């Protein structure tokens, strides 16, 4: 099982290292645009140097053991391929995954990138056939938009499970990367259905640990302890 952060915020990534088990970072054009511009409504073009400097900082921060997923922005195969080669060369072929949309042109680009030995994450996957075709084209990860599918009335659970079943049956190297969650239960459902990986926002990660059922039990533990001992171990050890 893997878990990634869906962010380009350096401070959030640094904070996540304290958890000890973040396997990588996923980004998309919206996330990077927001991070570089500082807003969702920026209409002034930013210096390209700021973008590449930020990508370099992300790569350096993640080191050699955590993956970075960066998405191409062109609509056509030829330009997607060139973008992928530029990003892979700059950020490290072994630990950088090029995110490519699961479109007709995108699947062609996936195949071409895969043939060059460049790692690929198929993104914007919202159907079983999109996921299967991306896998057959050589995608290393298939990023399903779980809540996005549900919002359009698709059977998100069924598609997730069917894709995982096919990946297992076909013995493919492709892993499911579940993304786009509205609730912690969405994340749990994807793991329960066999997803190899999920990518979540910083806030969603914290929400996954904020189970309201846990609070009364923890308050009871604390109350019982304080009635008898009144202090934590760090203070009690000084009394012996």
Q: Assess whether 49 carries a catalytic annotation.
A: no
For the residues of 1-48, what is the DSSP string, one character each? -EEEEE---HHHHHHHGGGS---EEE--HHHHHHHHHSSSS--SPPPH
- Averaged pLDDT score across all residues of the chain: 94
CB-based contact 6:31 (threshold 8 Å): yes
Q: Supply the Cα-derived Rg of the chain in whole angstroms.
A: 21
Beta carbons within 8 Å of 209's beta carbon, 6+ residues apart: none
Task: Write the pLDDT tens digit of every residue in 7-46.
Answer: 999 999 999 999 888 999 999 999 999 999 887 666 667 6
According to DSSP, the residues that pair with 141 across neighbouring strands are: 121, 175
Locus of tokens 């009690």: 236
Domain spans of the chain, in order of start: 2-209, 213-240
Among residues 45, 85, 99, 175, the one annotated as catalytic is: 99
Determine the CATH number of domain 2-209. Answer: 3.20.20.70
Predicted TM-score of the model (pTM): 0.91
């Amino acid at each position: 099982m893997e878990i990634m952060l869906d962010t380009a915020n350096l401070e959030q990534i640094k904070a996540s290292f304290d958890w000890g088990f973040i396997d990588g970072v996923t980004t998309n054009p919206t996330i990077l645009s927001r991070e570089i511009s500082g807003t969702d409504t920026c209409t002034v073009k930013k210096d390209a140097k700021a973008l590449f400097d930020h990508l370099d900082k992300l790569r350096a921060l993640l080191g050699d053991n955590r993956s970075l997923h960066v998405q191409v922005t062109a609509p056509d195969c030829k330009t997607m391929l060139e973008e992928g080669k530029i990003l892979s060369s700059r950020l490290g072929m072994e630990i950088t995954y090029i995110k490519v949309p699961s479109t007709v042109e995108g699947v062609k680009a996936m195949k071409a990138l895969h043939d060059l030995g460049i790692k690929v994450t198929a993104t914007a996957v919202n159907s079983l056939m999109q996921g299967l075709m991306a896998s057959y084209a050589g995608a290393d990860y298939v990023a399903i938009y779980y809540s996005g599918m549900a919002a359009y009335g698709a059977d998100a659970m069924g598609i997730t499970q069917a894709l995982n079943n096919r990946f297992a049956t076909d013995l493919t190297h492709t892993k499911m990367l579940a993304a786009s969650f509205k609730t912690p239960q969405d994340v749990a459902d994807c793991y329960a259905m066999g997803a190899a990986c999920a990518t979540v926002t910083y806030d969603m990660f914290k929400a996954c640990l904020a189970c309201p059922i846990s609070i009364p039990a923890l308050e009871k533990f604390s109350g019982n302890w304080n009635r008898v001992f009144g202090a934590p171990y760090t203070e009690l050890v000084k009394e012996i």
